[in-house]
Structure 1
Amino acid sequence: MLDRSKIGHEFPSFSVDIEKGRLKFFAKAIGETNPVYTDEEAARAAGFKALPAPPTFMMSVDLDAPEFLPMLSLLEMDLGRVLHGAQDFEYIGQIYAGDTITQTSKILDMFDKKGGALEFIVLESAYTNQDGELVGKAQQTIVYRN
């Protein structure tokens, strides 16, 4: 069983500079065809101050963490037994090219099903821009197979 005393554990925050090339690449990778995500003129014409981040981009910020999936070492988990169970996003503001986004995350909950054969770790992340504005939250559920 995973160590339930780690519920509430907060991981170190980190910051990421958001570059327009990265936003364009992400938009193409997810099949986003709206030009506001790839063309600066179209973005401004639509009322955005700069190139906006496409939906679900917050998850890619997590990939810049100093440690890949820091819960693995904290909970002494074997990566080969990890599955991505669910992902939810809450859009509070907008992430733009040129922003510096700070991500903070914590273990929100842990529980098991099937008599402990499957354990679930619920992580919550918050994304704040350089002005201290909360622009989004994400919650993901990781499944650990025993």
Structure 2
Amino acid sequence: MAVDPGIIGKEFPPMHLTVEAGRLRFFAQAIGETDPVYTDVEAAKAAGYADLPVPPTFLFAIELDSPDAFGFLAEAGVDLRFILHGEQSFAYHSIAYPGDVLTASPRITDVYSKKGGALEFIVKETAITRADGSAVADLKSVIVVRNLGAGQ
């Protein structure tokens, strides 16, 4: 079944996360980060940071904290058995630190297909801001959907 391009422009409820130092340390350890600026406050300050900086890919965790992180795919009629992570990119505007309250505001910005509709792509962009509205980052992810009903 083809992904309905009518979902382009769909905005989803914002998600909020208070950045916690312990979670940043855990995340750094989980991804194998060895730079002490992500786990040791003194090392971070010696490197010029105000506190532990949020590691680059951590911001995707905000959306994953949602009770239904992939609900947007279900709303689009996508069978999760046929998806792949296609791409992700980041544009950073400022560094986030423990204590920052961040808001993720996701929306679908594009739907397109390739290979005669056999592969469909859903592009989701998420603006990350602080409680005061200042920009932290813009995230982009592309989900690939295999459409078994389409020709190649």
CA–CA separation in structure 2 for the residues paired with 1:29 and 1:53? 14
**Which residue of structure 2 aligns with residue 42 of structure 1?**
43
TM-score for both structures, normalised by structure 2? 0.91
* Aligned ranges 1:1-146 → 2 under 5 Å: 1-146=2-147
CA–CA separation in structure 1 for the residues paired with 2:49 and 2:9? 36
Deviation digits for residues 50-90 of structure 1 (CA, Å, limit 9, x no counterpart): 21111111111221124221212210211111110000011
Contact 1:88 1:138 in 2 (8 A): yes
Q: Secondary structure at the match of 2:120?
A: strand
CA–CA separation in structure 1 for the residues paired with 2:7 and 2:132? 31
Deviation digits for residues 67-121 of structure 1 (CA, Å, limit 9, x no counterpart): 2212122102111111100000111101111111100010010000111111000
Contact 1:87 1:139 in 2 (8 A): yes
1:129: how far off?
A: 1.2
Q: What is the root-mean-square deviation of aligned Cα atoms in Å?
A: 1.1
Deviation digits for residues 5-50 of structure 1 (CA, Å, limit 9, x no counterpart): 1101001101111111110111111221111110011112222222
Runs of at least 5 residues in structure 2 that lack an aligned partner in the other structure: 148-152
Number of matched residues? 146
Contact 2:84 2:144 in 1 (8 A): yes
Contact 1:14 1:66 in 2 (8 A): no
Runs of at least 5 residues in structure 1 that lack an aligned partner in the other structure: none
Q: Share of identical aligned residues, percent?
A: 50
CA–CA separation in structure 2 for the residues paired with 1:144 and 1:16? 29
List structure 1 segments (4+ residues) > 3 angstroms apart after TM superposition: none
